[in-house]
């Protein structure tokens, strides 16, 4: 190999990056101190961006495409190198490739419960987790803020910081949103879209863009979930009396199904409690239209026939009031338990006094 071949081997004429990984965000093209040949080919594939750095300064940026490197398409680098009239010799520059595809399924979640004031149930502790998708929106900004001299920058190097940023913004926004825990499940998509908008300015500072934020779950502590389950059962049952009966029945059933024969004392106590509850409910039940207690045990109960229809039962006081108003006369048929049949009221010794004080009809009436 001649001297010319050896020198030519040190010149780079094709610059490209074939990524075999799924998590590399930035890659510095390895030139091993070799110079880039004037007129070299730069190949930037779809989903990539190339950035040239010269003497510590960001120079030209190239979107997807194939380029022949000359002073015409590298004006910033030409200015930094001081080639006023173009260059025909090899040059040194660092080339960084950035993957602009979406990096998906990045995890986020609260490491500790967060305390919020729910508008319905008051202070409550929550845990939340989900995923988010990002892409490199501006390679030069990512280079300045995070990559620097890193030859291969991967998502693992920034995922922890981004996770903390997502959680911090999520907690802050959720605390101000006023959304009740009862409405979380119906608003996962809405919360994710809102979080994407809230997070975008912070991610833009790193040259990144938030493509999507997914809420997988917002969970309550186990004891709160149990309390909500009990409240749901109470809502289905309707009132506290039925809930007490339901709990008592469950306890008796669980005791009876015990292989050891159950707990007789518990069964007796629960049975008595349930019986007392049922008796109280029956005592409280009263047919509509009855506003007075039934007659005393020693009072006679009378039935009367008015217009061919049976009415009653009436106690003596009610009969007296009806006789005074003229609704019952001596010819009105009456009956009570023990009588063989219906008899005119004026012929019943017990009822004669009712009509003694009734004045006779007016003359000519």
- Please check whether residues 216 and 138 belong to one and the same domain: yes
Helix axes 240-256, 264-284, angle to 10 degrees: 150
Angle at 86 between CA 83 and CA 91, to 5 degrees: 65
Q: Which stretches of 44-155 are DSSP H helices?
A: 75-81, 139-142
> Per DSSP, which regions of 220-364 are E strands?
302-306, 309-314, 333-336, 343-344
User: In 3-state terms, what secondary structure has residue 338?
Assistant: coil
First-to-last CA distance in the chain?
A: 153
d(CA 342, CA 331): 11
CB-CB contact of 301 with 336 (8 Å): yes
Which of the listed residues 222, 246, 276 is the one where a domain comes to its end? 222
Q: Which two tokens stand for residue 314?
A: 């009436």
Whether 315 is covered by a domain: the verdict is yes
Whether 200 is covered by a domain: the verdict is yes
Nearest Cα to Cα of residue 219 among 172, 194, 185: 185
CB-CB contact of 29 with 97 (8 Å): yes
d(CA 327, CA 323): 6
pTM above 0.85? no
Whether 292 is covered by a domain: the verdict is no
- Please check whether residues 148 and 112 belong to one and the same domain: yes
Which of the listed residues 222, 248, 263 is the one where a domain comes to its end? 222
Q: Which stretches of 102-258 are DSSP H helices?
A: 139-142, 156-177, 188-204, 222-237, 240-256
- Please check whether residues 118 and 152 belong to one and the same domain: yes
Q: Which residues lie closer than 8 Å to 353 by C-beta, 6 or more apart?
A: none
Strands of the sheet with 35-44, listed across from one edge: 11-15, 35-44, 65-68
pLDDT at 47: 95
- Please check whether residues 95 and 107 belong to one and the same domain: no
Going residue by residue through the chain (365 aa), what tens digit of pLDDT does each one get?
A: 444 444 445 678 899 999 988 899 999 998 777 788 888 999 999 999 999 998 889 999 999 999 999 888 888 888 888 776 666 778 888 999 999 999 999 999 998 888 888 888 788 888 899 999 999 999 999 999 999 889 999 999 999 999 999 999 998 888 888 888 888 888 999 999 999 999 999 999 999 999 999 999 988 878 777 777 776 666 665 666 666 666 667 776 776 666 665 566 555 655 666 566 656 655 555 555 545 555 555 567 888 888 888 888 888 888 888 888 888 888 888 888 888 888 888 888 888 887 776 566 667 65
pLDDT at 6: 46
- Please check whether residues 117 and 218 belong to one and the same domain: yes
pLDDT at 274: 59
Residue in this structure with the two tokens 């809420």, named with its chain if needed = 215
Angle at 200 between CA 199 and CA 205, to 5 degrees: 105
Which of the listed residues 71, 99, 127 is the one where a domain comes to its end? 99
Range of the domain at 346: 302-356
């Amino acid at each position: 190999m001649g001297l010319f071949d050896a020198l030519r081997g040190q010149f780079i004429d094709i610059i490209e990056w074939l990524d075999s990984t799924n998590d590399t965000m930035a890659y510095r093209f390895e030139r091993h101190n070799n110079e880039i040949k004037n007129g070299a080919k730069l190949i930037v594939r779809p989903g990539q961006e190339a950035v040239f750095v010269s003497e510590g300064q960001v120079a030209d940026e190239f979107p997807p495409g194939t380029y022949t490197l000359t002073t015409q398409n590298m004006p910033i680098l030409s200015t930094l190198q001081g080639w006023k009239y173009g260059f025909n010799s090899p040059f040194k520059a660092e080339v960084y490739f950035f993957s602009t595809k979406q990096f998906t399924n990045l995890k986020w979640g609260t490491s500790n419960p967060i305390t919020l004031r729910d508008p319905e149930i008051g202070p409550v502790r929550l845990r939340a987790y989900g995923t988010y998708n990002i892409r490199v929106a501006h390679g030069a900004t990512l280079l300045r803020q995070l990559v620097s001299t890193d030859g291969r920058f991967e998502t693992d190097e920034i995922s922890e910081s981004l996770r903390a940023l997502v959680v911090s913004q999520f907690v802050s926004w959720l605390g101000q949103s006023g959304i009740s825990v009862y409405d979380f499940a119906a608003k996962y998509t809405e919360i994710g879209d809102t979080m994407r908008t809230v997070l975008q300015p912070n991610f833009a500072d790193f040259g990144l863009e938030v493509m999507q934020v997914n809420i997988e779950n917002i969970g309550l502590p186990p004891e709160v979930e149990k309390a909500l389950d009990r409240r749901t059962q109470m809502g289905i049952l309707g009132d506290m009396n039925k809930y007490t009966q339901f709990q008592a029945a469950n306890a008796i059933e669980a005791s009876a199904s015990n292989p050891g024969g159950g707990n007789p004392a518990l069964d007796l106590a629960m049975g008595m409690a349930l019986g007392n509850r049922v008796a109280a409910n029956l005592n409280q039940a009263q047919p509509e239209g009855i506003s007075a207690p039934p007659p005393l045990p020693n009072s006679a109960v009378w039935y009367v026939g008015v217009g061919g229809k049976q009415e009653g039962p009436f106690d003596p006081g009610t009969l007296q009031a009806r006789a005074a108003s003229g609704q019952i006369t001596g010819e009105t048929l009456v009956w009570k338990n023990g009588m063989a049949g219906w008899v005119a009221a004026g012929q019943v010794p017990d009822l004669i006094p009712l009509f003694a004080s009734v004045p006779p009809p007016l003359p000519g009436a």
